[in-house]
Amino acid sequence: MSWISWLEARFSYLGIPRLMRMIAFLNAFVYVLTLIQHDFVGWLVLSWPEILSGQVWRLVTFTFVPRIAMGGEAPFGIAFIAIYIWYLIWIGDALEHALGAFRLTLYYVLGMLGAIVASFLFGLAAWDYANLSLSLFFAYATLFPENQIYLMLVFRVKMKWAALITLATIVVQFFWASLGSKVATILTFANYIIFFGPTLLKLSKERAENYGRRKKFESRAPSADDSMHRCAICKKTEVDNPELEFRVARDGEEYCVTHLPNLPK
């Protein structure tokens, strides 16, 4: 039993049903409030001087702030927030159905903790928590790789390819980033690494072993042991002569056409 299963067996009551629907609703609510008073988000985001002075609610409320609420996409704000809310609900419901309320809650909380630690150690910008949402995306792609989405609402792409494209951009950015940014990236994806890392490593190892066995089998010369047919008299097989024909006689034995016996009826 894995440690996650151990926790679930003992603390399953801590799972929050419809967690992502709640997060989605609170994101929409915060966005509406920012339209009324933009400075409102300043009370919600991670800010360590304020947290250390007692405003501990920020350790949770930063997940209620959609990045668009920080400014920069105002002309298309309503469209973007609508798509983002739909994304959280859609992907959250699917993950809860696949993982269960407790595991999804644990997964999201671990993602929050990773973002909090990255912010504390490396000063992650208050609005730069996209990896928390991306970790949900990667979890969905891992569990449902063949499902399809519409990229830019036009191109239909399987989840596994969309995830690989997204991963490629992260890897490129990771390669050129500073050491602190690299560690911060790993921390913000800690939940995905913890949940799916061991399984992916096991699958990769099995695929590598299967590939090695297949290449070894293909590279070796064919032998009589690889044959499907063998003459009961001359012992020749289709490996010896690919054009040789075989028949099964009434006695149940298999013969090449040259030695096929004329058995009595």
Per-position b or e across 137-149, b if 16+ CB within 10 A of its CB: bbbbbbebeeeeb
CA atoms within 13 A on the CB side of 172: 6
Percent of the chain's residues with pLDDT above 70: 86
- 87 CB contacts (<8 Å, ≥6 apart)? 133
pLDDT tens sequence across 68-79: 655 544 445 687
Is the pLDDT confidence value at 50 over 50?
yes
Per mean pLDDT, which range of 62-71, 98-107, 155-164 is the poorest? 62-71
pLDDT at 140: 94
- For the stretch 111-122, pLDDT in tens is 999 888 888 887
pLDDT computed for residue 68 by the predictor: 67
Query: In this predicted model, what pLDDT tens digit does every residue of 223-241 receive, in sequence order?
Result: 545 677 888 888 888 777 7
pLDDT 10s digits, 190-234: 999 999 988 888 888 877 777 777 777 666 555 545 677 888 888
Calpha distance 247→102 (Å, rounded)? 62
Q: How far is CA 7 from the centre of its chain?
A: 22
Hey, where are the domains in the chain?
A: 3-199, 224-265
- Hey, what CATH topology would domain 3-199 get? Rhomboid-like fold (1.20.1540)
Question: Is 90 exceeded by the pLDDT of residue 127?
Answer: no
DSSP string, 235-253: --BTTT-TT--EEE-TTS-
